[in-house]
Amino acid sequence: MKYFIFLSLLILNWNVSAQNKKWVNLFDGKSTAGWHSWTQTEVKGWHVMGGALMTHGGNGDLVSNREYGDFVLEFEFKVAAKGNSGIIYKVLEEAGNKELFATYASGPEYQIIDDAGYPAKITDKQKTGANYDIQAPLDLTAVKPAGEWNKGKIQVKNNRVSHWLNGTKVADYEYGSVKWDDDVAGSKFAKWPYAKAHASGKIALQDHGDMVSFRKIRIKEL
């Protein structure tokens, strides 16, 4: 009898937990609610146009109000011709902390860029869907041209991270692993807070000085 009660409670708790892990919209299609500009208390420069959250450039990164640990993040993005942007996760934010000088100082980046038209020379590790400057996309053909909407996904679960682009897995790595440590040690991130694996952080939409738009941004905590 006791075993039956225990099993019933276990199943009930599992069902409640599963129900609590629902998709949550990070962008309501109408406002910048739930976001703020980097190290600020309000949003500056970013705005909503045609159901998309966008910047024309020069407004600084937009950061989620909440931190996230394990999650699945889905979104759509459109970058202008010759444009550059990204989504940065595990972002640590502390105004006045000189080590945390930018969103990318602490968090990995899902790269977004005009692969074909960016005016400066870029490596494969800097192309759309890459774990920026660490791991090149597994498939360089998954991206749609600048000016078209692309579908992206980032999953973080038990330190296993994957990037998806238009339904294709384009990055896969183990955050904080020996290989990750080695890869970071050979990069520009080696002496930044980025190099110290941490459990959670905020999500940032990067303003790299170019026009970029995001829509259908939603997250499910795992």
84-103 pLDDT, tens per residue?
A: 999 999 999 999 999 999 99
**Is 9 contained in some domain?**
no
End-to-end CA, the chain:
32
31-89 pLDDT, tens per residue?
A: 999 999 999 999 999 999 999 999 999 999 999 999 999 999 999 999 999 999 999 99
> What is the three-class DSSP state of 122?
coil
Structural domain boundaries, residue 200: 23-221
Determine the pLDDT at residue 21: 86
> Average pLDDT, whole number, for the chain?
93
- Taking the CA atoms of residue 183, residue 184, residue 187 and residue 191 in that order, the dihedral angle to the nearest 10 degrees is -160
**Is 50 contained in some domain?**
yes
**Is 143 contained in some domain?**
yes
Pick the closest to residue 112 from 91, 92, 67, 142 (CA basis).
Answer: 142
What total number of domains does the chain contain? 1
Domain CATH code at residue 191: 2.60.120.560
Tokens of 150: 């692309």
123-151 pLDDT, tens per residue?
A: 999 999 999 999 999 999 999 999 999 99
Evaluate if residue 180 carries a pLDDT over 60.
yes
Report the percentage of the chain scoring pLDDT > 90.
Answer: 91
**Is 215 contained in some domain?**
yes
**Is 35 contained in some domain?**
yes
